[in-house]
A and B are shown apart, each in its own frame.
Chain A
Amino acid sequence: MATTSPLLLDREFLKTLEQVTLLCRTNLSGAVGPEHRSRTRGPGMEFADYRRYSFGDDPRSLDWSAYLRLGKLFLKIYETEQHIPVRILLDRSESMDFGDEGESKFLYAQRLAATFAYLALLHLDTTAVIPFADRLQKPLVVSGGRERLWPVLQFLAEQSCGGATDLFASVKEFMSGFPSRGIAILISDFFDEQGCERAVEMLRSAGHDFVLLQIHSAEEQHPSAAGELILEDAETGMQRTVECSPQSTALYERRFQEFSARLRRLAIRNGGRYARAVTNIAYQEFVLRSLRSGQVLA
């Protein structure tokens, strides 16, 4: 794995990100602050809805204009802006060291991790970048605004690929290290021999608002090789001799689609969100279009 440049994001893109917010779908309790949008109703600046007044409500939130028009008491509800911890779990296993024409999956994942970290810092949230493979690596926890992005970029640049993937062990370790609920963004190719169901269920049971971000290359989706090949698994070292014919390639592609679909279903079933990124698509485009339309970002 080649070391990446600390400058993972370009300035124009960072400027664009100032218009973007990381969405949180779950009602998470956190320190109230002015920046972050959540579905929690409470004191805030952003009007969200009306509801009928009931005893015990704060009379300061009554809409007197509505009372004058309708003769009924309505309470104005605002969206509470809270400090929600954003945890970015970055897969650095050996299988991430593949990609298309110089843009490896890991580099792509690093860029996305940097993007999410910047978004969190932009809204004064605390963010943690947690690399993992078969177990959790030493994380980086930063807060305090956009000026703190540089340590994140440096930290990401120091990371390299190695080891096999063990999602369950890594998530389990994450749970013990980060007990408070927050947004958990899991960036990985999810090529775990043990499967990722238990890990996702554990995230759900802990009450995290999680996002599964699957990254793969175009070659992994549509292998272009032909003829007889001795394939070696980058993580396990196992070998298999196969004949790459149109027939076998079609079978491969079908298996890959099934895997992605299963992962998506798993995320949705457990109340999380899912996104799939192909490394031959520019990460800026993926962030600004795909993640926005998928309500990961707003």
Chain B
Amino acid sequence: MNWLALSPAEVALVWAALAATALWLYLHHRRPRHRKVSTLRFWASVQPVSQPRRRKLREPWAFLAQILFLLLLVLALANPRWGPGYEGRSVAIVLDTSIWSQAHPAGEPAWIDLERAGALRLLDSLPGVDRVLLLRAEADAPPILPFTTDRASLRRAIQEVQSSSVAADIPRALEMGRAALGGSSRGLLVYVGPGLVDSGQVAGQGSEQEPEQQSQQARSLDEFRAEVESPDRSASQPQFLMRLLGDWASVQNRGITRLSLRRDAAQPDRWRLLTQLKNYGNEKADVVLAFSVNGQPIGQRKLSLAPKALANAEDEFTWDQGGTLQAEINPPDALQADDRAMVNLPTFRTVRVAVFAGKSSPFAADLLSVLSSNPYVQAQVFPAELGANLSPDVAIYQGSNLPAQPEFNSIWFLSGAPAANSRPVRVTGWNAQHPVTRWVRTHDISVRNPAALKVETGDAVLAYTEGDPPAPLILARERNGRRILIVGFNPHDSNFPLESAFPLLMAGSVEWMTHSVDDVADSFPAGEIDLPGPVTKIIAPSGKEAPFARKGADVHWLALETGMYRIVAPGNETSIAVNPPALPAHRVKPTAAEAAEIEGEPRPPATWDMWRWLVLLAAVALWLEWWLYYSAREQQRTAEASEAPGGQPPAILDLEPDEREESRFRNPNLVGR
């Protein structure tokens, strides 16, 4: 049993607080009750309570027994021990519950079961006074159980621990364990798991392969081991042990390490699919890679994977709706968690663009030729008077007066008054930061009769002409949720339609206003994920709500599961796919010191738990308090009764002696004669 271990100061504080409460209760007198009576004449001889009585303890011995009881109880909670002081060792067990712990090679137990058994064996070999901390090997994962000596809780936590779908970051977890043991004079840090570190090849004596290129994770691990195991290590360094489990040589695993999509530029419903696979085993493997969207198969192919090699597979398919694309490899292997991956297929939607102009106007002809080259846009020309009856995604107007509150996302071509001898004006600068003009770089554009645009607060100037100062030529404006592009010249009065920048400008404008096109679709690897905010809720594939941290407007969370996560934001909900990451595949070889037994501890001196006896004494004190309290009350009553006038029950004094005798048997309703 583990009681609250209080320090002497805490014991004194808690006891003082409880004793003060007990004292107050002993001194507490209830407020006098108000009562209406038929007459006060019989109370007249009773001494009135004229002044508040000085508060004094009426049962001092009972009170002393009470505070003795409280002291004993608080001491019992503090769990003091009789005997010389002994502090157990602090032990941090790093349990590798990463995705590799889901491995279940044929003919062997699942690795997570091996880890549980190994951790329990380790726990059983530790003295009962040792404080144990249970950590996960995944990066940023919270501890499984904080420092405790409660073996039952530790056993339960180990037996209930589940595998995650995140790759392990062993050096980081070990650093965390070492930091947790930092204050302890004798620490023990134990890693229990398959001992697989990140890609790259592990250097140094502990690797199974010769070094060629070393990953950051492997470097960190080597540095950690060098610090911990150096012969001149300081006393504050814990003993570091590794308990590697599972037969790595027999594991044959192939997995999907990446799945991404790219939309065809010319055909919006055509997708290019890139699948990356890895063979983690030592043997060549032939696999079948099958694809399906929303459960409907769309194709498969055979692949031959060389040992320890990555392979890319590129495919194409046509799909004009949204959904979930899933890739799966067969036959199943030791680790099935990475045999499938999924990605969210964005929905495609054509943007309706209405050009309000005369059908035969050269302006409309120029625009239609540009817009029709964009496969994501469906453009039509309408007379200007039909504007009130339509609701296009984007409206384009020419030469009209710009309204204060536009009804649609719109592009306005305004021009200045034509002059007979006007000369062309060169466009000298483009705003490369704005999404509309991000790809426009040309300086060979000149325009005639540009309009004088007035820049309002919040406007972004996208292009300006020569002059001192430069005059704004194109503005981007946002009003009441609508986006407006104001172009200060007539395309027909410029060489702009002849330039490649014109279709880029129009495409950028439509995309800025509608966000209609997702060119790529990708998935996230399980582990730490950052998403742009705002986000109110993240729901994992299992239906549980995933905790997340806010980083300004963005969010950061640890995705421990694979599958589709629902991201709930104010006003909308999206989905993202989380797939298994590229797995660490290099097994660490423990040194002799790491594989050694736990260093012997001096036999702890015999101590004796005092709390049972303290509870017993407290019970005696409690009984004593009750006995003293009631006996004191009884004595007080007796004393008061004996001090009462006459000291005897009231007699009927006006009766004769024989009548007094008789009155004892008479009805209380006395009748005189």
Q: Which residues of A contact B (CB under 8 A)?
A: 94-98, 105, 189, 191, 193, 217, 220, 225, 227-236, 238, 240-243, 245-248, 250-262, 264-265, 267-268, 273-278, 281, 286, 289-291, 293-296
Residues of A within 8 A of B43 (CB): 231, 240, 242, 252
- Asked if B40 is at the interface of the complex by the 8 Å CB criterion, the answer is yes
When the two chains form the complex, which single residue of A230, A252, A256 contacts B32, counting CB atoms closer than 8 Å? Answer: A230
Contact indicator B34/A289 (Cβ below 8 Å)? no
Residues of B within 8 A of A228 (CB): 29-33, 49
Residues of A within 8 A of B50 (CB): 241
In angstroms, how far is the closest chain B Cβ from the Cβ of A220? 6
B27-44 interface code vs A (CB 8 A; 1 in, 0 out): 001111111111111111
Complex interface residues of chain B between 591 and 607 (CB less than 8 A to chain A): none
- Asked if B452 is at the interface of the complex by the 8 Å CB criterion, the answer is no
In angstroms, how far is the closest chain B Cβ from the Cβ of A191? 4
Contact indicator B652/A233 (Cβ below 8 Å)? no
In angstroms, how far is the closest chain A Cβ from the Cβ of B642? 9
**Which residue from chain A places its CB closest to the CB of B31 in the assembled complex?**
A228
- CB within 8 Å for A234 and B671 given contacts A240-B48, A261-B652: no
Contact indicator B670/A264 (Cβ below 8 Å)? yes
Residues of B within 8 A of A98 (CB): 37-38
Contact indicator A252/B42 (Cβ below 8 Å)? yes
A231 vs B35: C-alpha distance in the bound complex, in angstroms?
Answer: 5
Please list 17 pairs of residues, one from A and one from B, whose beta carbons are closer than 8 Å in the complex, sorted by A's number: A94-B38, A95-B38, A189-B38, A217-B38, A227-B30, A236-B40, A238-B40, A242-B48, A245-B640, A246-B641, A250-B649, A259-B41, A264-B672, A276-B671, A290-B667, A290-B670, A290-B671
Residues of B within 8 A of A193 (CB): 41
Pick the most buried of B46, B643, B653, B669: most chain A CB atoms within 10 A of its CB: B669
Contact indicator B640/A259 (Cβ below 8 Å)? no
14 new A-B pairs (CB below 8 Å) besides A242-B47, A250-B646, A262-B654? A228-B29, A228-B31, A234-B39, A235-B39, A236-B40, A242-B49, A245-B640, A247-B641, A252-B42, A254-B646, A267-B672, A273-B671, A276-B670, A295-B671
Residues of B within 8 A of A267 (CB): 672
A223 vs B9: C-alpha distance in the bound complex, in angstroms?
Answer: 52
**Which residue from chain B places its CB closest to the CB of A272 in the assembled complex?**
B672
A105 vs B128: C-alpha distance in the bound complex, in angstroms?
Answer: 77
- Asked if B401 is at the interface of the complex by the 8 Å CB criterion, the answer is no
- CB within 8 Å for A191 and B672 given contacts A229-B33, A241-B49, A246-B644: no
A234 vs B30: C-alpha distance in the bound complex, in angstroms?
Answer: 24
- Asked if B571 is at the interface of the complex by the 8 Å CB criterion, the answer is no
A290 vs B672: C-alpha distance in the bound complex, in angstroms?
Answer: 10
- CB within 8 Å for A241 and B644 given contacts A220-B38, A261-B653, A296-B671: no
Residues of B within 8 A of A232 (CB): 34-37
Q: How large is the interface on B (under 10, 10 to 19, 20 to 34, 35 or more residues)?
A: 35 or more
- Asked if B469 is at the interface of the complex by the 8 Å CB criterion, the answer is no
Contact indicator B637/A256 (Cβ below 8 Å)? no
Residues of B within 8 A of A262 (CB): 654
A260 vs B43: C-alpha distance in the bound complex, in angstroms?
Answer: 15
- Asked if B673 is at the interface of the complex by the 8 Å CB criterion, the answer is yes
Residues of A within 8 A of B543 (CB): none
In angstroms, how far is the closest chain A Cβ from the Cβ of B258? 83
Residues of B within 8 A of A245 (CB): 640
Residues of A within 8 A of B44 (CB): 240, 255
Residues of A within 8 A of B672 (CB): 264, 267-268, 273-275, 294
Q: Which residues of B contact A (CB under 8 A)?
A: 29-50, 637, 640-641, 643-646, 649-655, 667-673
Contact indicator A191/B673 (Cβ below 8 Å)? no
Residues of A within 8 A of B645 (CB): 250-251, 254
When the two chains form the complex, which single residue of B29, B30, B637, B652 contacts A246, counting CB atoms closer than 8 Å? Answer: B637
A97 vs B652: C-alpha distance in the bound complex, in angstroms?
Answer: 27
Contact indicator A275/B35 (Cβ below 8 Å)? no
Residues of A within 8 A of B38 (CB): 94-98, 105, 189, 191, 217, 220, 233-235
Residues of A within 8 A of B643 (CB): 247
In angstroms, how far is the closest chain B Cβ from the Cβ of A278? 5
In angstroms, how far is the closest chain B Cβ from the Cβ of A34? 28
In angstroms, how far is the closest chain A Cβ from the Cβ of B422? 104
**Which residue from chain B places its CB closest to the CB of A260 in the assembled complex?**
B670
Contact indicator B35/A247 (Cβ below 8 Å)? no
In angstroms, how far is the closest chain A Cβ from the Cβ of B53? 9
Contact indicator A247/B33 (Cβ below 8 Å)? no
- CB within 8 Å for A229 and B32 given contacts A191-B38, A234-B37: yes
Residues of B within 8 A of A281 (CB): 667-669
- CB within 8 Å for A252 and B46 given contacts A260-B670, A268-B672: yes
**Which residue from chain B places its CB closest to the CB of A96 in the assembled complex?**
B38
Pick the most buried of B46, B640, B644, B651: most chain A CB atoms within 10 A of its CB: B46
Contact indicator A243/B644 (Cβ below 8 Å)? no
A98 vs B673: C-alpha distance in the bound complex, in angstroms?
Answer: 27
A240 vs B40: C-alpha distance in the bound complex, in angstroms?
Answer: 8
- CB within 8 Å for A286 and B669 given contacts A229-B35, A258-B653: yes
Contact indicator B671/A293 (Cβ below 8 Å)? yes
When the two chains form the complex, which single residue of A233, A255, A295 contacts B45, counting CB atoms closer than 8 Å? Answer: A255
Contact indicator A95/B39 (Cβ below 8 Å)? yes
Contact indicator B673/A295 (Cβ below 8 Å)? yes
Pick the most buried of B34, B44, B651, B673: most chain A CB atoms within 10 A of its CB: B673
Residues of B within 8 A of A277 (CB): 669
- CB within 8 Å for A259 and B667 given contacts A240-B48, A242-B49, A294-B673: no
In angstroms, how far is the closest chain A Cβ from the Cβ of B663? 11
Contact indicator B670/A250 (Cβ below 8 Å)? no
**Which residue from chain A places its CB closest to the CB of B670 in the assembled complex?**
A276
Contact indicator B637/A227 (Cβ below 8 Å)? no
Contact indicator A274/B671 (Cβ below 8 Å)? yes
When the two chains form the complex, which single residue of B37, B649, B651, B653 contacts A231, counting CB atoms closer than 8 Å? Answer: B37
A274 vs B673: C-alpha distance in the bound complex, in angstroms?
Answer: 7
Contact indicator B49/A247 (Cβ below 8 Å)? no
**Which residue from chain B places its CB closest to the CB of A289 in the assembled complex?**
B667
Residues of B within 8 A of A286 (CB): 669
- CB within 8 Å for A278 and B39 given contacts A246-B641, A252-B46, A295-B673: no
Contact indicator B640/A290 (Cβ below 8 Å)? no
In angstroms, how far is the closest chain A Cβ from the Cβ of B55? 13
Residues of A within 8 A of B637 (CB): 246
A197 vs B35: C-alpha distance in the bound complex, in angstroms?
Answer: 29
Pick the most buried of A95, A260, A276: most chain B CB atoms within 10 A of its CB: A276
In angstroms, how far is the closest chain B Cβ from the Cβ of A176? 28
Residues of A within 8 A of B649 (CB): 250
Residues of A within 8 A of B652 (CB): 257, 261
Contact indicator B32/A227 (Cβ below 8 Å)? yes
